[in-house]
Structure 1
Amino acid sequence: MAHGDAQYCARCGARLARDNTTSLCSPCGHTGESNEAPRLSADFWNSDQMRDALASQDMGVVVRVYRRHPAHGRKPLPQSDVARWLNITQGQLSRIESGRNRVRDLDKLIHYARRLHIPAEMLWFDVGGTGFEPPKPSDVLRLPGGPVVPAAATRTEPVLAESLLMTLQQYVTTDNLAGPHSLLPIATQQASFAEQLLTESHGHGHAPLLYVAARFAEFTGWLYQDAGDLHTAMQWSNTALDLSQEAGDAHLSSYIRMRKSNIASDARKPDLTIAFARAALQNPGALPPRLKAVALRQEAHGYALAGNYDTCARALDHAFQYASEAPNDDTDIARYCTPSYIEMEAAHCWVELGKPAKALTTLQQGLADWQSDFRRDLGLCLARLAVAHAGTGQPNEALTVAQHSLAIASETRSHRTKHQLHRASELLTTVGAHEHAHYLRHVLRNTLR
């Protein structure tokens, strides 16, 4: 480091040693974690990087550039340190920096600016400091000569959270009937709206909004998965997991890990499928039975992908046991995981393991008792039945069932159903039913473009 390029400690101002690649001198670097951001020099704030960041009028951009400024050394400041200085969680800071949570609330903008010691004259908002203190609002507003009414500042987060959950349930019903594509734009928008509400919430209203934001992120991930975009599905699921952990909801966190396992199994990654399923089953004694059942079902899928019949069968047996003993609880997020659901999922594993005959009876019985509300999944199960028929050398039955599945898939546009129908055509070729396979490929090309 040349003398003219000398740098100084961000905390005490002492000249840094030539071989020091951080923003702190050795004594300051060993004083332990500080809850206060260092006061940086005017040169730092007047650098081109910080001026451009402040000109963006986006606190997320400002904080990201602040952390990565070369004055701090070769490595950016850890998010955990800056989050501690701002009195927020690392997950919150990550969403702010990524632009998922745009900070618009003036009180929070002022708080972050003061915590980072940003010069007031460089900000795009007024940090106050005039000395004037307005009267504090009370819990009620007394109109002159009129009635007493609730104060305008009364928080509405709990009511809004409940309303959003009701909306989510309507989306789930629509998804079951019509598939993901009609819902993707509005679900993505609602998920972003829920996260934006988090940046403006405080007090007792923050917790229910965290739960709602996590649920919307998980559901949006599911929609992308069924639409065939597994990368985006995993991104939304990661966001959902961050939010659920921030909310301290162990059950929801377990469920989202199971969902990540489900995405991994669609990507045909057995090791990752099993790893996520096992992560979902951490502390199993604290989980409700159906949540354990649906996670074990995912573990079985991983073993089926790996070709491990015995371990897959044991996982399915445990899943069936937990699903059978579960109470009928409408608040259980995995309440759909009934014994008949596990049987249908087991049939999928048998087909994956090359034992389609073992799956035929289960699929046929399950379809006979199918509920009409789950039309999209009816198409998927019919496609799986077509695969089982094709695998057992029954081309006429396979083609008949596949055409019924295709009629539903043309409406729901489920990528998972489409994938199973292509598997059926491949198996028809394998068993020598070339005309059946050719016809099925033809109608797939013309129907599911």
Structure 2
Amino acid sequence: MARDNDSGRCAPCQAAERERLSAPPPVPGPFWEHEPVRLALAGRHLGRVIRAYRHHPYHGRTPLPQSAVAAWLGITQAQLSRVENGPPVVHLDRLIHWARLLRVPEQHLWFSLPGQTPPTARAGVERPDPQSVTSVKTAGPVTPPIRLDAATTASDQGGGITDRRQFHALAALAGIATTGFPHLFDGPADAPLSIGMDQVRQASSLVEQFRQADTVAGADQLCDIAVRVHSRLSSWATKATYSREVDAALQAALADLAIETAWLAVDSDRRPEARPYLNEAITRARIADDPRMEVRAFAQLALLVRDAHPGESLHSAEAALRASAGWGTPRLATLLHLRTAHTYAVLRDTSSFSRAMAKARRELERGTSEDDMPFLHFVTAQEVRGIEGLSYLALGRADRAADAFRAITESISPAFRRNRIYYAVQLAGAQCRLGDINEAARTAMDALPDTCQVSSRRVWRHLAEVRSSLAQAQRPTARSREFVDAFDQAVSR
């Protein structure tokens, strides 16, 4: 080997290896201590990390070509060039996906990988104490200001599940309130004079804060807050000045927030409000050249317009499939095929529904991937059965729908508690359609306490439809009357 060859491999071997690489190769630990790589990591700029990775001497005298690395990352060579030379990537989905793909050691990262220790804990940085935030002010009556220390006291004194859930919800909301934007919830709405990358990172972190809060507080308590936060940030982005490199990152962060706001509007049964956010998200994702964000927005749009505009729903799902070609994971493909299957059922196209469901099941059988975007966690075998059940309802096959919903409620993971409640209510609705009044009332009665614990108007609306069907039954039973009374009492509290 030549004297200046410090890679440990001869030139022909290096060339042969470069040609056959279809994925990032394993690299030794000292690889990440190379000065350009170390400085890029310290600068929290994954694009520069990727460029330093490509130019590392370990790969030989010639850098890895952008085209090869772009193929690993699921983007084009032109997109990788913009990632390396543009503003830092702030979208957490991409950061996690690319860090895992390149096998960047966890201790070198400035963000947490799922299942790993948070970077602040690794670095010994103190986190804000949720109890130091005395109140969280919101945009409306949904979540009134409540002292967190009062919620803590109630929980410590045995206040029960509701108090503990309220405390965790308030803690999550306090996390949103302390993300670095002190005037998102109250105070003057004056826009900052300029926006930098630190503020973009803080804005990007809001989406994860909303997701965490949603799991404990529910959409009803969060939707108005998300609407106000989105309005404030969008207004600031319009009025403030910022560099060209900040622009793409800011657009991606605002697109992510718009998608989350749209979902909260859907789950709180405010569907008409969701459409403008998704339209905005698609536009911002394209400005930011972020296909992953665009696919998420189209997938959500397909769900939103399915019943009112099934043709547009199909076009949206197909657009997402095209945009994800080449980099989409099996789980993402499963979700998109489920979207098309349900829409075909709404259109009463049985054969197309069956073909789409078959594609969804084939993709699901391919398993999960480390590259799955975090929002896909709910795409499981139970969710496939659930969409199948909803589709059978649309096709007028309440018997097959009931079988699907029953299987879900008996086997779904505790991690998907809201889905279990939702499909239990759907089971009661299917049993009503079958004329099994007693079973429908029993199922609905079992679901009522859990429904009271989740803040989802969408679930409540479906349960109210079951209540209406049972109240109007030609031959009411003692069990059906018992549920109607229990439901009415729950609503009047």
Paired position in structure 2 for 1:349: 391
> Which runs of 5 or more residues in structure 2 are unaligned?
1-188
Q: Which runs of 5+ in 1 are unaligned?
A: 1-101, 108-154
1:270 pairs with 306, 310, 316, which one? 310
Cα distance in 1 for partners of 2:348, 2:357 equals: 14
- Give the distance between the partners of 1:408 and 1:245, measured in 2 at CA: 40
Which residue of structure 1 aligns with residue 22 of structure 2?
A: none
* Alignment partner of 1:174 is 2:213: yes
Question: Once the 2 structures are TM-superposed, how far is the Cα of residue 105 of structure 1 from its aligned partner?
Answer: 6.7
Report matched runs for 1:47-196 at 5 Å: 156-157=196-197, 159-196=198-235
Query: Contact (CA 8 Å) 2:337, 2:360: kept in 1 or not?
Result: yes
1: distance between equivalents of 2:458 and 2:449? 14
Q: Following TM superposition, by how much is the alpha carbon of 1:432 offset from its aligned partner in structure 2, in angstroms? A: 4.8
Change (3 A) 1:420 1:328: same
Match of 1:285 among 310, 319, 325: 325
C-alpha contact (below 8 Å) 2:408/2:420 kept by paired residues: no
Matched, 1:359 2:398: no
Deviates more, 1:268-277 or 1:316-325: 268-277
Is 1:238 matched with 2:283? Answer: no
Q: Distance in 1 between matches of 2:290 and 2:242?
A: 18
Alpha-carbon distance between aligned partners in 1 of 2:353 and 2:315, rounded to the nearest angstrom: 14
Map of 1:11-22 to 2, 5 A cutoff? none
436-445 or 210-219: which moved more? 436-445
1:322 aligns with 2:363: yes
Deviating more after overlay: 438-447 vs 285-294: 438-447
Paired with 1:194 and 1:104, the residues of 2 have a C-alpha distance of 9
Task: For residues 278-304 of structure 1, give each alpha carbon's deviation from its aligned partner in whole angstroms, at most 9, with x where no partner exists.
Answer: 232224523333222212211112112
Comparing 429-438 with 175-184, which one deviates more in the overlay? 429-438
State yes or no: 1:447 paired with 2:486. Answer: no
**For residues 445 and 463 of structure 2, what CA distance do their matches in structure 1 show?**
9
Q: What corresponds to 1:209 in structure 2?
A: 250
- Shift in Å, 1:327: 3.1
Aligned to 1:198: 237
C-alpha distance in structure 1 between counterparts of 2:276 and 2:491, whole Å: 26
Does the C-alpha gap of structure 1 residues 370 and 173 become closer, same or farther in structure 2, counting only changes over 3 Å?
farther
Q: Deviations over 1:4-30 (max 9, x none)?
A: xxxxxxxxxxxxxxxxxxxxxxxxxxx
| Alpha carbons 1:176, 1:373 under 8 Å: kept | no
Q: AA paired with 2:237?
A: L
Alignment of 1:409-428 (within 5 A): 409-425=451-467, 428=470
Change (3 A) 1:427 1:329: farther
Asked if 1 retains the 8 angstrom alpha-carbon contact of 2:382 and 2:412, the reply is no
Q: Are 1:311 and 2:311 counterparts?
A: no
Check the 8 A contact 2:378/2:416 in 1, yes or no: no
Which residue pairs with 1:377 in the alignment? 419
Query: Letter of the aligned partner of 1:401 in structure 2?
Result: T
Deviations 1:379-415 (A, max 9, x none): 2111111122223333222112212333233343423
* Residue 260 of structure 1: how far off its partner (Å): 1.2
CA distance in 1, matches of 2:215, 2:252: 22
| Maintained 8 Å contact 1:194/1:212 | no
What code does the residue aligned with 1:225 have?
Answer: V
The structural deviation recorded for 1:234 is 0.8
Q: 1:443 to 1:207 in 2, by over 3 A?
A: same
Deviations 1:86-110 (A, max 9, x none): xxxxxxxxxxxxxxxx995768xxx
1:211-226 pair list within 5 angstroms: 211-226=252-267
Structure-2 residue corresponding to 1:249: 290
- TM-score, normalization by structure 2: 0.54
Asked if the contact 2:214–2:222 (Cα under 8 Å) also holds between the matched residues in 1, the reply is yes
Deviation string 1:20-49 (CA, Å, 9 cap, x unpaired) is xxxxxxxxxxxxxxxxxxxxxxxxxxxxxx
Work out whether residues 331 and 372 of structure 2, in 8 Å CA contact, stay in contact via their aligned partners in 1: no
Q: 2-side partners of 1:328 and 1:301: how far apart?
A: 24
Question: SS in structure 1 opposite 2:370?
Answer: coil
1:236-288 Cα offsets, whole Å, 9 max, x none, are: 111112111111111221221121121113x5433332232223222452333
SS at match of 1:307: coil
- Residue deviations 1:335-374 (CA, integer Å, cap 9, x gap): 4322332122111111222222223343233223333343
Residue of structure 2 in register with 1:391 after alignment: 433
Q: 1:284 to 1:442 in 2, by over 3 A?
A: same
Task: From the superposition, tell whether residues 249 and 335 of structure 1 become closer, same or farther in structure 2 (CA, over 3 Å).
Answer: farther
Q: For 2:337, what is the secondary structure of its paired residue?
A: helix
Equivalent of 1:401, from 420, 443, 449? 443
CA contact (8 A) 2:200 2:253 kept: yes
The answer to whether the 8 Å contact 2:437/2:476 transfers is no
Quote the sequence identity (%): 20
RMSD: 3.0
Q: CA deviation at 1:323?
A: 2.6
Pick one of 336, 344, 347 that aligns with 1:295: 336
> Deviation at 1:424?
3.2
What secondary structure, in the 3-state scheme, does the structure 1 residue paired with 2:322 have? Answer: coil
Amino acid at match of 2:476: H
Equivalent residues of 1:177, 1:376 under 8 A apart: no
2-side partners of 1:366 and 1:165: how far apart? 34
